[in-house]
Chain A
Amino acid sequence: QSALTQPPSASGSPGQSVTISCTGTSSDVGGYNYVSWYQQHPGKAPKLMIYEVSKRPSGVPDRFSGSKSGNTASLTVSGLQAEDESDYYCCSYAGNNNYVFGTGTKVTVL
């Protein structure tokens, strides 16, 4: 099972929006609405930000949103804030009771 493809980096100024893509195949991202997104600050455990493509857990700011088109899922962070600077990983169900993570994207707030 190959890792989902994410851009290594993305950036934006405070207040701007940044969108991170997560590209898979019809066997994972494209085949199921089971994509989740995680934020990970250095030295910390990942934190769930989005699940089932576009649902936001309680406590996650509505600046974070998710979507999917075909084999590509996306995470958008609107109104960037300094604390959004972090690594972000997507994860998808891949069938046969397997899951696959993305390669990770480092978001920098300029």
Chain B
Amino acid sequence: QVTLRESGPALVKPTQTLTLTCTFSGFSLSTSGMCVSWVRQPPGKALEWLALIDWDDDKYYSTSLKTRLTISKDSSKNQVVLTMTNMDPVDTATYYCARTYGSGLKDYWGQGTLVTVSS
């Protein structure tokens, strides 16, 4: 059974760095072709792809956010971590992690974690 769960702070202040952890089970990020993505969704708005890390530790970022994002993995702990620097109120959103394959399909998602950026 594949599950993913996001964890991190519910509230961050402007200019702070956000660190989110995706803890997963039911698959191995060491398996060829396996990836994990981060996707966010501001309240009432559309989904936005943020970053992806693959089984070979290759990392890919949204062009518009790449200077602020870092994705990493700890396969032994079945975790993927996303950091986003210089948080702003417009970054208020529900952040999801999802199991992903090379074609971009995301077949299993976490329940999401709402992050509010406010002073």
Q: Judging by beta carbons under 8 Å apart, are B107 and A98 in contact?
A: no
The interface centre, meaning the residue of B60, B62, B98, B105 with most chain A CB atoms within 10 A of its CB, is: B105
- Count of residues in B whose CB is under 8 Å from the partner chain: 23
CB nearest to B45 among chain A residues: A104
Q: Judging by beta carbons under 8 Å apart, are B105 and A1 in contact?
A: no
A57 to B105, CA, bound (A): 10
A80 → B minimal CB distance (Å): 23
* A102 sits at the interface (CB 8 A): yes
Q: A3-B46, A99-B52 are in contact. Are A45 and B104 (CB under 8 A)?
A: no
A45 to B107, CA, bound (A): 11
Q: Find chain B residues with CB under 8 A from A47 CB.
A: 109
Q: Judging by beta carbons under 8 Å apart, are A45 and B47 in contact?
A: no
* B111 sits at the interface (CB 8 A): yes
A36 to B47, CA, bound (A): 13
Q: Judging by beta carbons under 8 Å apart, are B110 and A52 in contact?
A: no
Q: Judging by beta carbons under 8 Å apart, are B105 and A52 in contact?
A: yes
Chain B interface residues toward A at CB < 8 A: 37, 39, 46-49, 52, 58, 60, 62-64, 96, 98, 103-107, 109-112
